[in-house]
Amino acid sequence: MNHSTNDSDFNLQNPTLRAFIEVAPDSHFPIQNLPFGIFRTQETDARVGVRIGDYVLDLAALAEEGYFEDLGIDESVFYENFLNELIAQGKNQTRALRNRIGFLLQKGSDLEKKIEEKPELLYHISAVEMQLPVRIGDYTDFYSSIEHATNVGKMFRPDGEPLLPNWRHLPVGYHGRASSIVVSGTDIYRPKGQTKPNEQEPPIFGESKQLDFELEMAFIIGKDTNLGENITTEQADDYIFGLVLFNDWSARDIQKWEYVPLGPFLAKNFASSISAWVVTLDALEPFRTASPKQEPDILDYLKCEQNYSFDINLEVSIKTNIAVDETTICRTNFKYMYWNMAQQLAHHTVNGCNVRVGDMLASGTISGSEADSFGSMLELTWRGTKPLKMSDGTERKFIEDGDTVIMRGFGEYEGVRVGFGEVTGKILPAKK
């Protein structure tokens, strides 16, 4: 079947486009988005899908119908358990694939007729189980919100400067672990470790009493480099495939005792949660915006010619075990980040560190300037001194067993929302 069309010029950013599949006005997944993910059903093994409204298109099944045969893509990648092999086909191929899917989703298309004959090409989201979207080789976490870094500095160094001398000169980050990054909906066990609740007494071992979330975004590397090579800010677009929501769970009491001199360890490596759908950089193009002014002047390798911040609305809610309704506790925006993704990637590789397809780089906690825009419980409750009221009448200083943390994010232009859905995680008691 020859599906070669004029879709190479197809403009998915057109806000007037509508799919033949009904999409609610407030959906994060209109035809302008079309994010990639990995799903499985009772009938199929894990494979690549694309989200449209409340439905998932089975790309392996569409490939079998011949819809992608002229795109130069190895169609075996649609049967993989991760997106890595598809991403590695190259941005020209994945962009052409996304355009083809958008073209086929228009009303009156051949695909609309085909789905009437073969409804198994399309699954309702309630009928699928989402999987971790990428095989994450390496993971780096940054510390790039000036509001967050300033708040933490004020708490932990009340008699000194909130920001350390290097902070305004480079994107501070550390290399973390990838093994415990999990997909949205995965339960998280309360971590255990050493803490030092009394300065005059030795440390103790036990469950963390100050479990926290960190509201972050993370981007996924879409192209390999070799050892010794670096990526400039101008080249960053070529190396960033897409983004997910990222909850970097944190045990604040464990962190306080262990982090000097090398930074967090057990306080972070027990779990991080990501959203299931990878939103491409192409889909986020309408939300590019200027970054905050950086002072003093930064070194040349960190300067950006184009806008590399993104206007993405973010929020965090908590649903307790007994509450009917969730309680929204934070509203902020990705555009507040002092150091942007291009600068993070340029700094990460300026020493010749190589990156690989599927590597994940997280932004660090995203906080705004207002008290209700802080991206962690540490800040929202100011180390537990200002508890938050939940919808069931209880209070929270930190996250308790049975609590579910829900993060959402979306951009909006001309009445179109392009979003990430949500990333959720429920806290279970520590394993004995």
Residue pair 214/271 in contact by the 8 Å Cβ criterion: no
Where is 251: in which H helix or E strand? strand 250-251
Q: What totals of helices (H) and strands (E) does the chain contain, helices first?
A: 9, 26
> And the tokens for 167?
């902070």
3-class DSSP state of 252 = helix
Residues designated catalytic: 148
Q: Calculate the dihedral angle through the C-alpha atoms of 278, 284, 287, 293, rounding to the nearest 10 degrees.
A: 70
Cα–Cα distance between 194 and 178 in angstroms, integer? Answer: 22
Bridge partners, 192 (sequence order) = 207
Half-sphere exposure of 312 (CA within 13 A, CB side): 30
Residue pair 86/48 in contact by the 8 Å Cβ criterion: yes
In eight-state DSSP terms, residue 344 is: H
> And the tokens for 100?
């083809």
Cα–Cα distance between 374 and 147 in angstroms, integer? Answer: 8
DSSP secondary structure string for all residues of 360-401: EEE------SSGGG-SBHHHHTTTTTSPEEPTTS-EESS--T
CA angle 146, 152, 153 (to 5 degrees): 85
Q: Which residues in 192-214 are b (16+ Cβ under 10 Å) and which e? A: bbebeeeeeeeeeeebbbbbbbb
Beta-sheet strand order (sheet of 313-319): 188-189, 416-428, 404-413, 313-319, 327-333
